[in-house]
Structure 1
Amino acid sequence: MAMKPVMFTPSDLKWMPAPPATGMPSVVQMTVLSGDPSKAGLFAIRLKIPDGGKVAAHWHPSDEHITVLEGTFAAGMGDKFDASALHDFPAGSYVLMPKRMHHFGTAKGETIVQVFGMGPFVLNYVNPADDPRKK
């Protein structure tokens, strides 16, 4: 089955709270560009993170490709959120988080990132107490 082209302008995007099943914090909004991030297969999504929005240390079962479109995404590697380990990635930056790499992040100013990868897209928290699905 041949794929059909997918084309959007920013005004076409429909933002919604990130589905709880993803494990994203409730402050994160999401829009799906292509594919279905809840299923196996390629997907592309955008995440809108408010200023100061944090994502605790977590990992993914597949590689995560991140492009920063607006704002600044600060990311670090490790088993717990550590502000001193953050590196700033302003708009235009690209980050590849290999599967199972423990990492964390925060937004500096409202930030929009585009994530591309193989689904299902889910966050596995290093510390289960940080998982919003368990609160």
Structure 2
Amino acid sequence: MRALNRSWRYLMMLSAFAGMLGASAAAELNPAAVTYKLPDQIPWGPVDARGAQNAVVVGDPAKPGFYMVYTKWTKGNHFSRPHFHPNDRYIVVLQGTWYVGSGPKFDPEHGTVAMPAGSFVTHYGKQVHWDGAKNEDAVLLIMGDGPATATAAEEK
């Protein structure tokens, strides 16, 4: 009975070890079917004067057509000023809390709504909005049809 029990444990350990090896081996994917970039392979641009950093992952937001961009708003009350885009934009908050305001009056302290990770936001074309981060970084995935130009619309 002991020998059978030992043999069974030995077999289970070998089976578990073989399973771990199989799971850790990377599969070869057909590049005609699937392409991917791991997080450390995505090229982020520098942080701009507003405190935002971008990484284009699909398309080109400066040209006509579909695009997807990661945007990181860095903590420290970094905001865009009131503006609008010609086309609708669809945004998913991936990390942190993003703050969204609308209208031409810029008031980050009283005029924003907090969007925690997992939130989905639509910025409608030709409608004035502004956004950013307060006390933590916020990482967004922004999707839309280009060109993604911005027209200033701040109340003076």
| TM-score strictly above 0.5 | yes
The equivalent residue for 1:47 is 71
The equivalent residue for 1:12 is 41
**CA RMSD after TM alignment:** 2.2
Q: Give the structure with the higher percent helix.
A: 2
User: Measured at CA, do residues 7 and 101 of structure 1 come closer, stay the same or move farther in structure 2, by a change above 3 Å?
Assistant: same
TM-score in terms of structure 2 length: 0.71
Give how far 1:123 is off: 1.5
| Structure 2 residue identity aligned to 1:99 | G
Give how far 1:72 is off: 0.7
| Structure 1 residue identity aligned to 2:46 | P
Aligned length, in residue pairs: 122
| Structure 1 residue identity aligned to 2:41 | D
The equivalent residue for 1:65 is 90
The equivalent residue for 1:80 is 105
- Structure 1: any 5+ residue segments left out of the alignment? 19-23, 130-135
Q: Give the structure with the higher percent strand.
A: 1
**Bigger Cα Rg:** 2
Q: Which whole-Å deviations, capped at 9, do the CAs of 1:20-50 have from their partners, x for residues lacking one?
A: xxxx745211101101111000000011111
Q: Which whole-Å deviations, capped at 9, do the CAs of 1:81-122 have from their partners, x for residues lacking one?
A: 123121000111110011011111121311111100000112
Give how far 1:127 is off: 3.2
User: Measured at CA, do residues 105 and 12 of structure 1 come closer, stay the same or move farther in structure 2, by a change above 3 Å?
Assistant: same
TM-score in terms of structure 1 length: 0.81
Superposition pairs for residues 90-101 of structure 1, below 5 Å? 90-101=116-127
Q: Which runs of 4+ in 1 moved over 4 A?
A: 3-6
Identity of counterpart residues, as a percentage?
30
Q: Which whole-Å deviations, capped at 9, do the CAs of 1:64-83 have from their partners, x for residues lacking one?
A: 11111111111011112123
- Structure 2: any 5+ residue segments left out of the alignment? 1-31
